[in-house]
Amino acid sequence: QQPVQSPQAVILREGEDAVINCSSSKALYSVHWYRQKHGEAPVFLMILLKGGEQKGHEKISASFNEKKQQSSLYLTASQLSYSGTYFCGTESAYSGAGSYQLTFGKGTKLSVIP
């Protein structure tokens, strides 16, 4: 079942902060965050694993609430380069831990303006 992302779209001025949320109705093993710019392939940002392990790019932070099956991506001091569509991909706790077979949400379109 597809995770639900919110908001669907957000417009920021450079330097402002944003939070993107991802919620699943299923128990999760991991949550992956990707950013996709128009006409390009998705690019990895971060993975959050059940149990607290996180790996990702330095300037990106995120959280994973295992009890609520929710994850949030925090974008601080936004830059023009942050513009794009952000997708969360979830891995079910029942799919075989570590398969990284992902179900992606519909995405959150972020636009950063000067």
Partner 1 sequence: DTGVSQNPRHKITKRGQNVTFRCDPISEHNRLYWYRQTLGQGPEFLTYFQNEAQLEKSRLLSDRFSAERPKGSFSTLEIQRTEQGDSAMYLCASSPWGSGDYEQYFGPGTRLTVT
Binding to partner 1 by residue 55, rule CB under 8 A? yes
Binding to partner 1 by residue 43, rule CB under 8 A? yes
- Residue from 10, 12, 32, 64 that binds partner 1 (CB under 8 A)? 32
Distance CA 7, CA 20 (A): 7
Residue 24: closest CA among 52, 47, 5 = 5
User: Considering the complex, what minimum distance in angstroms separates the CB of residue 13 from partner 1?
Assistant: 25
- First vs last Cα of the chain: how many Å apart? 37
Query: What is the phi/psi pair of residue 81, to 5°?
Result: -70, -10
Which residues, numbered 89-108, are part of the site for partner 1 (CB under 8 A)? 89, 95, 98-107
| Residue numbers at the binding site for partner 1 (CB under 8 A) | 2, 30, 32, 40-44, 47, 55, 87, 89, 95, 98-107
